[in-house]
Structure 1
Amino acid sequence: MEEVPVRDVPGPARQIPNALTLLRFAAIPLFVWLLLQDREGPSWWAGIVFALAAITDQIDGFLARRWHVESAFGKVADPLADRLMIDTAVVLLVVLDRLPWVALVILLRDVVLVGGYKLVAPRGFELEVSMLGKVATWGLYASICLVLVTREGTWWPLALFWISLGLAVVAAAGYVLRARRELRD
């Protein structure tokens, strides 16, 4: 697929990736409300909103790279929107007894990443999301969506969640190690 030179992308269209990221932030309260309406599941409407958030995550990154309109805002806001949507879903699913409390380890991972990034960014470290990190995020979005739309206790969405969570933790360790290496040199 041929990349589009930035001069060929109309001005307002250049804002589409960031607008999609902002839509993900705005979708969080709607997602919460919908999930709380269907506490025992399946939660189809919450699952649809969650799936749309996952899809916009893919679209905004694709467009930003293809159109060469990556921004400092997008590099921070895009992963933050993902983290907030996923973390919100996990916390609610734990509270509603649809995920075990151990799933909250995702919050610890995200606090380490966000807090660590705030410490290393001023020293010149730029966080580039690894392919493992992307796969983990896709897996978390997919597995949480499947937990939302299946009956409580369905084993296979939970298995996918645990695999994706494991990948996310490994990816986070990779980011920490890379930051330590680069900042030490």
Structure 2
Amino acid sequence: MGSMALADVSWPVSDTEGDYGCGMAWATVRQHIPNALTILRFAAIPVFVVLLVHAGDGAAWGAGLFFAGAALTDQVDGYLARSWNVESAFGKVADPLADRVMIVTAVVALWATGRIPLLATLIILGRDLLLVLGYKFLVPRGYAFEVSFLGKAATWVLYASLCVVIVTAEGTLWPLVLLWFGIVLALIDGIQYLVRARRELAPGEPGRETHAHTE
């Protein structure tokens, strides 16, 4: 009976066949790695909030590590998806959504705990709302969205400044200077984005594609 069971098992007939099987298994696994990183970002958000609130007025190193990890995986998951050619419909929606939810959550939590001013909070939230509404309005009209260099720079400066605000005690001045610098970059980029969109979608140029940003 045991011999018959072993005979029914399909064993690799060569090292080449075994390598091929391993390669197929890895190809299957890596299809899911970028999306798994995105899901981890969503899962980290409530943990980040708890750690930030628990820190009180002091340096919230635990929350800072979670926030920095979210910023890192935001770059890694997209890079892996493009490099491995495993971009998915889920990833195209969930990746930027996770980025926006993390930023909005961090900004609101930092304002609620007295670490950043209300004006900075409103500007960042208003910019994100403008981008979301612009995306919904312009994409159906043939406007192509791509990340600009200034948009990337603004996002990274905002991430870095918020991370520094998190890991320093409440009332520390220089992280707020860095935060306002990031806000200025974001505002300039947003203005450029609106100017390009208005020019490219002006009457007489319907459906013309150009490049703007979604960061």
Q: TM-score range by the shorter chain?
A: 0.7 to 0.9
TM (norm. structure 1) is 0.88
Match of 2:178 in 1: 160
Query: Residue deviations 1:88-141, cap 9 Å, x none?
Result: 111111111110111121000000101111112222323211111111111111
**Which residue in 1 is equivalent to 2:83?**
66
CA–CA separation in structure 1 for the residues paired with 2:186 and 2:61? 25
Q: Which has the higher helix share?
A: 1
Identify the match of residue 35 of structure 1 among 49, 52, 58. Answer: 52
Give the percent of matched residue pairs that are identical in Structure 1 and Structure 2. 59
**Relative CO higher for 1 or 2, CA cutoff 8 Å, sep ≥ 6?**
1
4+ long deviations beyond 6 Å: none
Secondary structure of the corresponding residue to residue 47 of structure 1: helix
Q: Give the stretch that moved more between structures: 165-174 or 67-76.
A: 67-76
User: Hey, what's the Cα distance between the residues in 2 that align with 1:171 and 1:66?
Assistant: 27
**CA-based RMSD:** 1.9
Moved more, 40-49 or 19-28: 19-28
Q: Distance in 2 between matches of 1:89 and 1:147?
A: 10
Unaligned runs of 5+ in 2: 1-23, 206-215
Q: Distance in 2 between matches of 1:159 and 1:53?
A: 23
1:116 is matched with 134
Match of 1:15 in 2: 32
Unaligned runs of 5+ in 1: 1-6
- Measured against aligned partners, the alpha-carbon deviations of 1:31-65 in whole angstroms (never above 9, x if no partner) come to 11111111212111111100100110111121122
Q: Deviations over 1:123-167 (max 9, x none)?
A: 232321111111111111111111011111222211111111111
After TM superposition, the structure 1 = structure 2 runs for residues 122-161 of structure 1, keeping only pairs within 5 Å, are 122-161=140-179
Count of aligned pairs between the two proteins: 179
Which residue among 25, 39, 43 is the counterpart of 1:26?
43
For 1:125 and 1:71, how far apart are their aligned partners in 2? 21
Q: Secondary structure at the match of 1:29?
A: helix
